[in-house]
Structure 1
């Protein structure tokens, strides 16, 4: 039979543990309440989902991941490749690097697709360039006969030659949703919160134009204005063709690219076809801006 003193010690020990747990719980609750009241409700994030804001599958990722995904998509569509190719590329990058441009990996693997300089994918500097590494992935993908009709895991594995080929499959639903938005196909839409705040300082129109050309090619933009006034310095306008007098898939592709790259390029507003995006409000309809002839990007100033 345990002594009365031993029983008392066990009761006190349990009481201390319960009290400590309650203290931790109250501290966490107070911290979350303070974060909510101060307006700091989480780190910046991007969400892709139904364009009308209704019910449907959604996928959340960081601004860094969204920016890299936008580059992967732009390189693919600029080559005239179908949405399926972009989906395969995005699923591959999600598995290989979680869509982060990392400078390490298995052996000498680098970048979004974990390509290896020793295996002829390019120099380390080239592979760490998302435009270059995306292009090299597509170079190999299009050499796979019938890649667009193959299961995603098979197509990706023919390019990557991974030790875990089935791992690509789990990323296909998210990659398909993301590629639908980034290639401009309805009903998917991409929005980012607090994206412009992720990079300090004012936006640079020349930097935005250079990034557009690197991703989409020189034909994406008209010749630069000979003299840049205040409006030209704070806004980049990209002309797009209309379809049946209305918004085009190309227009929404460019608009979503701008939203995804907003944090990197310090874009605080994107407008196209009567809809306007800001980091604070997301996408909203603005009837006074009903034109669909260009995508306009207003920079942080």
Structure 2
């Protein structure tokens, strides 16, 4: 079995059936890719939105009224701007968690889908939209809104802002700061959102993989199919049976010329083939030459002539069929002129 099959034979069989193999790859690809693509395009998932908590802090600024002049106008909003800038510039991990234990930071990190290292090293960009600082006007105050998924983090932010405002409350003369009552509310509560999982780039990549896989499957099927029933694909495959005259012919016209030449030099002989498929194909192509598939039980026909010329085709003639037909002729001591074989 293995001695009659190699990589070269696999390539020969693939080439011989290239049309059908190509169709098989496309059909197999479509059978796998279409359901997969449909599933990918229509796939959706339900995302649960975590509950977000907000804390709204207001620090009221009390300052003496100034007369409206150019100098005062240039200093407009100096109090609120100073304190809003003070708060926003300090909203980073170094300040927020400088006196927190690793256990406390780890607990908060788990509640906001982060980690301890990220929180301790976070900068102001990380807290953007989580901590919103707004100036309410020079003689009005500053507001701070903390919006996170962790009540403990909101409380920590409030304590840190309180400490910051308290430390800088005496920066301006005759200016006092009063904190109004904190407003805590639950913004969003456990809602669900359906989102599409479709990813075009990923789908294209998967289809490429499926196409390659379909190709490998078809090659493997060819390998298994011909491994247990290999075909003859080279001149040397016939010579191992002591057949020294192997004629590679390109078309039926060359076959006619070969038969005519051999009959002129050798006399009458029968033209046979080991494959019923080849016999049927040649019967339709060649009207004036009889190419037979002689059954072993037809003793009368076999005994009519003493010499035989095989007509075979690479990639279609199988070892088992050729060996069987050859043995049948040897059983009656028939002379084998040679083999005329069509190429791949």
TM-score range, shorter chain: under 0.3
Give TM-score scaled by structure 1 length.
0.24
More strand by share: 2
Structure with higher RCO (Cα < 8 A, 6+ apart): 2
Give TM-score scaled by structure 2 length.
0.22
